[in-house]
Amino acid sequence: MALDFLQVREKVKAIGENAALRERQRQNLREEARRLLDDNAQEVERLREKIELAARSYDPTLRCALPVQEPLNAAVPLPELPPIATIIAADGSQINPDRNAPVDYCLINVGAIQMVHGLPDPPAITLKSDLFYDEEMFTDAGTITEGMLALMRDLRERTMLAELAEQARPPVITFTDGPMELWGAKDGDMAGGFQKSLEEYQTALERLCEMHVVTAGYVDKPAANLVVRMLEIGCKLTEDELVDVKHRFPLRGVTDYDLYRNVLKSGERSAVFAIQSKSAGNYRGSLALHFFYLNVGRPGHPWLARVEIPRWVADNPLMLEYLHAALVHQTRIMGSRPYPYILHRAHEAAVVSFEDKEQVNQMIAMELRRRGVPVGEQSQKQAVKELQGRTSFSI
């Protein structure tokens, strides 16, 4: 038996006994957050100044929304797509280093789908597979880690978009799955690798900006509280309480999803916000990161996505309209599962299956043996795990 289900059952019972009370408390907080959104909808400048004060004087790590221009409770209706537009999506997957395997290597696979809205041309698929072996897996900080590989994958996705957009018919609209902000270790041994990747990433974004390409990161079912945190600091805390802003969360438990799911009708987007964060300095000027929420669900069945965009898109009303329209159009292709069709296709192209990994393992092993080079052995730990009929062992 893997679990003591009697212990788990007692905990589940306790969860159930308190669930109704917690839900009522959270519903009250949700309603309060929505009132604050409406009551302060026009207080853009005041809220911005207060957020900037809190970040500058009391919490330099503060991460929340920063109002820009539109009213906080704006609900922008669905615009029309241009008659013809090139839409490109990229996604990536990876095989992580595995010291338990007979051969240790890693791989990044990036797939992109390009289609032209308004023309009958079939979607075009682009694939790029990079295999890293032996000395290619060494870095200044040691060997490539899963985190470093993910960083490299994100960089390659955006770079591929820039390369394809250069040859595409305008207007060009591009997306990737997930946030636009590049994540990775910014301190310690990995700091140098992150900084190099960040500079290359900034270069890819600058190329997209110079070509006047619309680009975005699409976050499905977001769980962030960026706007709620802004309301907490801007509307709930006094200036005296800002001193302790790191420990004050008067709307804790409420997410932006809770806030907007009943504000935005099907196809509508929220106001555009800037992102206040410690890493904002990595994305300055036209690259400064912004976001909005978008209801891609059907009437009566809201479904929200957070769409992250750079400033050059946020500041251009026409680009913003094209992106808004393209995303809703793409999600509606998927019917009752609203997710951008072209991103789904890019994921299908990029995903590396277990069978793919095994085939690469065999290809490397066979080539090494053909050259007279000894191949390592699988770790005993992994071999035991794979024994038929056994799923775990106690030691």
pLDDT at site 377: 67
Residues 6+ apart with CB under 8 A from 385: none
pLDDT at site 294: 98
CA distances in angstroms from 264 to 17, 67, 297, listed in the order given: 33, 18, 10
CA distances in angstroms from 377 to 99, 131, 139, 369, listed in the order given: 10, 20, 24, 13
CA pair distance 263, 268, nearest whole angstrom: 9
Give the mean pLDDT of the chain.
Answer: 91
CA pair distance 322, 82, nearest whole angstrom: 7
pLDDT at site 190: 59
pLDDT at site 147: 86
CA distances in angstroms from 376 to 101, 282, 315, listed in the order given: 8, 42, 55
Q: Kindly indicate the confidence band of residue 395, based on its pLDDT and cuts at 50, 70 and 90.
A: very low
Q: State pLDDT tens for residues 142-186.
A: 788 888 899 899 999 999 999 999 999 999 999 999 999 987 655
Tell me the residue type at 92. Answer: G
Q: Are 314 and 320 in contact (CB under 8 A)?
A: yes
Q: Are 155 and 200 in contact (CB under 8 A)?
A: yes
CA pair distance 273, 187, nearest whole angstrom: 28
Q: Kindly indicate the confidence band of residue 391, based on its pLDDT and cuts at 50, 70 and 90.
A: very low
Q: Is the pTM of this model over 0.95?
A: no
Q: Are 365 and 332 in contact (CB under 8 A)?
A: no
Q: What share of the chain is helix, strand, coil (3-state, %, to 5)?
A: 45, 20, 35
Q: Kindly indicate the confidence band of residue 389, based on its pLDDT and cuts at 50, 70 and 90.
A: low
pLDDT at site 314: 98
**When comparing pLDDT for 214 and 198, which is higher?**
214
Q: What is the DSSP letter of 373?
A: P
Token digits of residue 366: 């066979």
Q: Are 274 and 288 in contact (CB under 8 A)?
A: yes
Q: What domains are defined for the chain?
A: 85-350 (3.30.420)
pLDDT at site 1: 54
Q: Kindly indicate the confidence band of residue 394, based on its pLDDT and cuts at 50, 70 and 90.
A: very low
Share of the chain above pLDDT 70, in %: 92
Strand partners, 127: 111
Q: State pLDDT tens for residues 80-123.
A: 999 999 999 999 999 998 877 778 899 999 999 999 999 999 99
What's the first-to-final CA gap in the chain, in angstroms?
A: 15
Token digits of residue 32: 């309060």
Q: Is the pLDDT of residue 189 over 60?
A: no
Let me know if 290 is exposed, middle or buried by CB neighbors in 10 A (0-12, 13-18, 19+).
Answer: buried
Residue 23, CB-side half-sphere exposure with 13 Å CA sphere: 6
Q: Is the pLDDT of residue 386 over 80?
A: no
Residues 6+ apart with CB under 8 A from 223: 255, 257
CA pair distance 147, 53, nearest whole angstrom: 33
Token digits of residue 44: 């853009």
